[in-house]
Structure 1
């Protein structure tokens, strides 16, 4: 079973996991502290899953386009957006930003725990840079480097990245056209009695 199929299957119950909710709230708070927002701003959610992060951040911006490669996740995101009464400002579409072309320009892009599932990180970062206005902000929350793969040890079908080295990610962002790159500790995830750190990386489209 590939990862998209797994996420399709798990989409309906994804938000039932209290760990997922705690993580998204922590990431939303970190983004609120680190990135300017405004009622006219257009936001892009990269690998947004059920849309939970964007629903939490919706009061801070004018509109959000939630993207995800999983049709199941997009279906649930649409339901969650309507249930939250945000259908006039948030919408969800199935899109893989490493290969699918989007129209429009965005003032801010955010992502939570999606980047480590992306095979071609450089292509994704270039794509997002192309969708941001000059001076637009990127906020990416993901796992710190997990060289022994312990975080995903229980998922034999996992074929993504075992977290990220911060310096390496900063280099990739610079190559993709970003500047003003910074990192803060966002939260931790406890799994099998081990703690894994999540960073929030922010950057500006040059």
Structure 2
């Protein structure tokens, strides 16, 4: 998995490094040191939870004196504050280049990847800090017809208690995740979509080279 992360960092045109409030942890430092080929955009998330806002400026001055960033964007992700500023920073730092794929070049493989990413996005959105680190999404089946596309996906977690977190009380959390992911998939496909989600426990999958390869990660 570390190899996949490193390759992704190398291929990325813009890198976003997200930290919580006024905290720069050892993990943040380790990730920053992996980003050797370009400067990231630093996102300070959850600024709405900083009680004393006067602490923000000294923190910014300290962190930017010790590390080099393209820019720094204070953000409240859950409350959708400053997203326009973040999107603008991403736009101005993206290189001008020809499209990697033709505009109408949408294949099953692309849709499967996008579907898993949309599901993953909603996991982050609805679970936040509760989201288990070792969580991934697998598209088990993809069936496309003229009137309906059926997508069957599994959310893999490491432990039974993590499964309960993803499912939520009476399945409400999983239902919300599925509904919003389906709506996003329908927009990109411009078609009706049936999305079925399952949550399964696969202990140790993130530490198993065989499991990682089977799930498409480079190890």
TM beyond 0.5: no
TM-score w.r.t. length of structure 2: 0.34
Higher strand share: 1
Structure number with greater CO (CA < 8 Å, separation at least 6) is 1
Higher helix share: 2
Q: Which has the larger radius of gyration?
A: 2
